[in-house]
């Protein structure tokens, strides 16, 4: 009999842990869990090593070590956003993942509703379960014509309106979006902002891929910068994606005082603080970003194109990805019964691991035809995956 609490039982094991383990078992090229297979910048590492040697070995301040809060404020302003107070408005968390849980647990009461766009990063929904809140889903539909130049996943305004009820406490936005690679447009964000204001809802926005956008015509926009939105937005981001340091687990929540108070109410009892030396390393990276993110964009955009071509040659329909580590593809032409069967075959027999995205949908059948591929890798790794994908054929022929 399972000893897992009722709260977590519906969710099973993390798909990221499962697919990475399967990939390692089969010696596959791991394009499942999203993490780079190369190192972060020297400034970050030197900063953390220096902090360890300088004896920064004890708990840090609950809201973040002062140099990191300051560096986050400067980085936020450097990207053209209005000035913020490093201590009043920034809470450092153990990765954005903790920020998501802290924001949702700190803000929502049992019975409150949370609007979530699907496919979703799984933490939003598990955090809602921890808060005994109810998620309401709005589907991002794949583009009808994936080959059109402007093709992108999109939602229906009527479906968003229908998901908002008198119990709606918050709307979760994730832009750039994992797993689709979508960048929410100004029009889409304006609609969400208008509805949030009409219904007095808070927006929790996960912007960890803010620096990984590949189409100049689709720039990242922080919803907190739209008129009337600073007061009602918690903006989450992290070090991991921008500096290829996903394992450092340093993230942050930016919000006005009343919303920061909600995040901190939970954060202080979840982890209290992120690892102190790594916070100092994070501050060093943010102070000296150099061309690290620009170089990543160049590498990842080229990887995305190589992988897109290889998947198309193999018979998949690839949906354009404009940002993030990921792209989504439809495998239905290959004849597999569902996404798990396809991704398991791909990992075990072809030697390339991908994520079956049905776990990112309230109704798993919506993800059955899809697979998510990560392209946040060295060029050599992508070349190897492309090579292996040339062995992929229709199921009837294997």
Name which position in 23, 28, 34, 201 contacts ligand GLN (CB under 6 A): 34
Name which position in 11, 16, 112, 312 contacts ligand GLN (CB under 6 A): 16
Instruction: Report yes or no: 367 and 360 within 8 Å, Cβ to Cβ.
Output: yes
The per-residue DSSP string of 10-37 comes to GG-S-HHHHHHHHHHHHT-EE-SS---S
d(CA 28, CA 284): 35
Minimum CB distance to ligand GLN smaller for 259 or for 353: 353
Minimum CB distance to ligand GLN smaller for 261 or for 270: 270
Q: Does 30 bind ligand GLN (CB under 6 A)?
A: no
The mark string for 175-214 relative to ligand GLN (x by CB under 6 A, - otherwise) is ---x------------------------------------
d(CA 82, CA 79): 9
Q: Does 33 bind ligand GLN (CB under 6 A)?
A: yes
The per-residue DSSP string of 230-278 comes to GGGEEEEEESTTTTT-GGG--EEEE--HHHHHHHHHHHHHHTSS--HHH
Minimum CB distance to ligand GLN smaller for 34 or for 64: 34
Total length of the chain? 398
Nearest to 138 by CA among 122, 154, 121, 127: 154
Cβ at position 240, least distance to ligand GLN in Å? 8
Minimum CB distance to ligand GLN smaller for 100 or for 255: 100
CA 240 remoteness from chain centre:
11
Minimum CB distance to ligand GLN smaller for 73 or for 96: 96
Q: Does 361 bind ligand GLN (CB under 6 A)?
A: no
d(CA 102, CA 326): 25
Size of the site for ligand GLN (CB under 6 A): 4
Contact footprint for ligand GLN (CB under 6 A): 16, 33-34, 178
């Amino acid at each position: 009999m399972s000893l897992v609490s009722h709260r977590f039982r519906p969710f099973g094991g993390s798909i990221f842990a499962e697919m990475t383990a399967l990939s390692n078992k089969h010696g596959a090229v791991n394009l499942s869990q999203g993490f780079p297979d190369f190192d972060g910048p020297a400034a970050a590492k030197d900063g953390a090593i220096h902090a360890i040697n300088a004896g920064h070995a004890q708990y840090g301040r609950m809201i973040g070590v002062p140099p990191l809060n300051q560096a986050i404020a400067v980085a936020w302003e450097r990207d053209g956003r209005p000035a913020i107070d490093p201590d009043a408005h920034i809470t450092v968390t153990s990765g954005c993942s903790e920020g998501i849980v802290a924001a949702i647990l700190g803000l929502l009461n049992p019975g409150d509703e949370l609007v979530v766009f699907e496919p979703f990063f799984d933490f939003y929904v598990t955090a809602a379960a921890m808060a005994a809140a109810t998620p309401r889903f709005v589907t991002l539909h794949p583009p009808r014509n994936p080959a059109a130049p402007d093709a992108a996943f999109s939602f229906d305004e009527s479906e968003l309106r229908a998901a908002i009820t008198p119990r709606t406490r918050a709307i979760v936005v994730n832009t750039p979006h994992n797993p689709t690679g979508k960048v929410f447009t100004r029009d889409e964000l304006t609609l969400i902002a208008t509805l949030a204001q009409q219904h007095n809802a808070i927006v929790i926005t996960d912007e960890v891929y803010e620096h990984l956008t590949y189409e100049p015509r689709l720039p990242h926009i922080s919803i907190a910068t739209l008129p009337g939105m600073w007061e009602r937005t918690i903006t989450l981001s992290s070090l991991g994606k921008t500096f290829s340091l996903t394992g450092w687990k340093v993230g942050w929540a930016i919000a006005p005082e009343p919303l920061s108070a909600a995040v901190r109410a939970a954060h202080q009892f979840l982890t209290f603080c992120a690892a102190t030396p790594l916070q100092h390393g994070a501050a060093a990276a943010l102070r000296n970003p150099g061309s690290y993110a620009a170089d990543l964009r160049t590498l990842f955009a080229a990887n995305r194109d190589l992988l897109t071509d290889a998947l198309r040659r193999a018979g998949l329909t690839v949906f354009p990805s404009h940002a993030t580590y990921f792209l989504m593809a439809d495998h239905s032409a290959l004849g597999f019964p569902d996404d798990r069967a396809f991704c398991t075959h791909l990992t075990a027999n072809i030697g390339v691991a991908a994520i079956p995205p049905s776990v990112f949908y309230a109704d798993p059948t919506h993800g059955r035809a899809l697979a998510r591929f990560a392209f946040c890798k060295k060029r050599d790794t992508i070349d190897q995956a492309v090579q292996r994908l040339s062995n992929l054929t229709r199921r009837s022929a294997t």
